[in-house]
């Protein structure tokens, strides 16, 4: 399947590297912002993969036999918007899962998921749509990550914990077992969360 990567930053490069080892997908290009497009249009961003335009071209990609996409943007809200925008144009969200991640057989993985190298996903874990699991994360027994979350490198999610929608967890943070982290929470790097966190309203 021909696919595009929405974004062109470090997350996008990481995804392109993961997908380069997958024979099922052909990355035809990156899609950037208006500003990025002015600077980098048609230039190679990773290996021989160019920036091919902005999100305005999403409506034309099906005509070019592009069938899939993956959102590679660190900001949860922007990533959520582009995920639905591309889906509404008939493109299929695909997963980018590193062959260097360890994933138990009974893990539930939805659509548009990134799991980077060195991550360990244990028995009974659930990962919701459009969620980014960075390198070296550990998701313990029966933990649940809801849709549109970003889990930064080196995080540990304790067993039977629940991370609600639109949560950002900073690098090397630890969520203790049986903890609920409410929607829209932002957890800074190197934190240990030992009690439940309530839902927060969206700031945008």
**Domain ends where: 49, 74, 94?**
94
Asked whether the beta carbons of 176 and 194 are under 8 A apart, the reply is: yes
114 and 84 part of one domain: no
Average pLDDT value for residue range 95-119? 96
> How confident is the model at residue 204, as a pLDDT?
59
Whether residue 203 has pLDDT greater than 80 = no
Q: What is the CATH number of the domain that holds 12?
A: 3.40.50.20
- For the segment 114-143, what is each residue's pLDDT rounded down to a tens digit? 999 999 999 999 999 999 999 999 999 999
| Cross-strand partners of 144 | 126, 162
pLDDT at 20 (0 to 100): 83
Question: How does residue 24 score in pLDDT terms, banded at 50, 70 and 90?
Answer: confident
> Does residue 42 surpass a pLDDT of 80?
yes
Q: What is the CA radius of gyration of the chain?
A: 17
Confidence check: pLDDT of 69 > 70: yes
User: Can you list the pairs that 176-179 forms with residues at least 24 positions away whose Cβ atoms lie under 8 Å?
Assistant: 177/140
Pairing of strands 44-46, 96-97: unpaired
Q: In this structure, what CATH number is given to the domain that contains residue 124?
A: 2.160.10.10
Q: What is the pLDDT of residue 65?
A: 95
Asked whether 61 and 83 are in contact (CB, 8 A), the reply is: no
- pTM for the structure as a whole: 0.94
- Contact of 125 with 144, CB cutoff 8 Å: yes
Tally of domains within the chain: 2
Query: Mean of the pLDDT values across residues 169-192?
Result: 98
By residue range, what is the domain housing residue 112?
95-204
| Residue % of the chain over a pLDDT of 90 | 94
Residues 27 and 103 both lie in one domain? no
Last residue of a domain, which of 94, 117, 139?
94
Q: Is 121 in the same domain as 176?
A: yes
User: Quick one: average pLDDT of 60-87?
Assistant: 95
Question: How far is 43 from 39, CA to CA, in rounded Å?
Answer: 9
């Amino acid at each position: 399947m021909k696919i595009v990567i929405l974004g062109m930053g470090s997350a996008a490069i990481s995804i392109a590297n993961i997908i380069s080892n997958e024979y099922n997908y052909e990355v035809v290009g990156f899609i950037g912002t208006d500003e990025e497009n002015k600077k980098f249009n048609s230039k190679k961003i990773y290996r021989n993969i160019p920036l091919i335009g902005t999100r305005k071209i999403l409506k034309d990609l099906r005509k070019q036999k592009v069938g899939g996409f993956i959102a590679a943007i660190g900001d949860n809200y922007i990533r959520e918007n582009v995920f639905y925008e591309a889906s509404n144009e008939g493109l299929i969200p695909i997963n980018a899962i590193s062959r260097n991640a360890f994933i138990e057989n009974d893990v539930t993985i939805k659509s548009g998921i990134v799991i980077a190298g060195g991550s360990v996903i244990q028995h009974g874990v659930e990962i919701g749509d459009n969620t980014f699991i960075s390198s070296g994360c550990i998701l313990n027994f029966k933990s649940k990550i809801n849709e549109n979350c970003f889990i930064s490198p080196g995080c540990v999610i304790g067993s039977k914990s629940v991370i609600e929608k639109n949560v950002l967890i900073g690098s090397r943070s630890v969520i203790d077992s049986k903890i609920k982290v409410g929607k829209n929470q932002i957890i800074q790097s190197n934190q240990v969360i030992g009690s439940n966190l309530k839902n927060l309203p969206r700031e945008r």
